Amino acid sequence: MSQAISEGDGISIMAVVSDPDDARSAEAQGAEALVVVGPVGGLREVTALPILWRPHGSPGQAQSAEADACVLSVAPIEDQDGELERMHREALELGLECVVEVNEDEELELALQRVDPEIFLLADRALELLPDVPAGKLAIAEVERAARDDVSELERAGMDAVIVRAGNIAELTGEPPPEV
């Protein structure tokens, strides 16, 4: 996952998909990774793109879904003594990359102190939190509705990737639509 979003120029588009057809379409339009919010059978048969397991849950669930990475959200587990570290360690032991979701400065600091992740998912306040992400770490923004201008703004700010709903991804990257 980290290699896919750190390679090349510009911001990487990560598309939320719900079935193999969405995955094929997203890949054809230039997505560099896929995001699933629940089990989606048959993805590995139609794409080699990295898959991010987005629902809150165990790393074991992500592995069962054939994901390459999983999201660990600091908010629901920040007060549970050692839970963030345990889940992070479990994910790494299963061969998954961890994307740690933070929504505010305190969560970002907590994540850095407790697990020092390589990849951050900056949910609600991506542009406000981005300056506090240390150099050398990857930052992913998640946006509900994205237009080309939104993606360009995130790219100029230094965001490495953006999660968008499946749709016309080629439009967001500024690339010409694929030939059919």
DSSP 22-87: HHHHHHHTT-SEEEESS--TTHHHH--S-EEE-SSS-HHHHHHTT-SEEEEEHHHHTTSTTHHHHH
Largest CA distance in the chain: 53
Residue 37 lies in a domain: yes
Residue 95 lies in a domain: yes
Give me the pLDDT at residue 78, please: 55
Residue 180 lies in a domain: no
Residue 28 lies in a domain: yes
Which helix (H) or strand (E) is 105 found in, with range?
Answer: helix 105-114
- What's the chain's average pLDDT? 88
Give me the pLDDT at residue 177, please: 44
Residue 179 lies in a domain: no
User: Which domain CATH number covers 133?
Assistant: 3.20.20.70
Give me the pLDDT at residue 166, please: 66
pLDDT tens-digit readout, 11-36: 999 999 999 999 999 999 989 999 99
pLDDT category of residue 116 using cuts at 50, 70 and 90:
very high
User: What percent of the chain has a predicted confidence (pLDDT) above 70?
Assistant: 91
Residue 129 lies in a domain: yes
pLDDT at 6 over 80: yes
Number of domains making up the chain: 1
Domain limits for position 144: 2-168
Give me the pLDDT at residue 52, please: 97
* CA 19 from centre of chain: 18
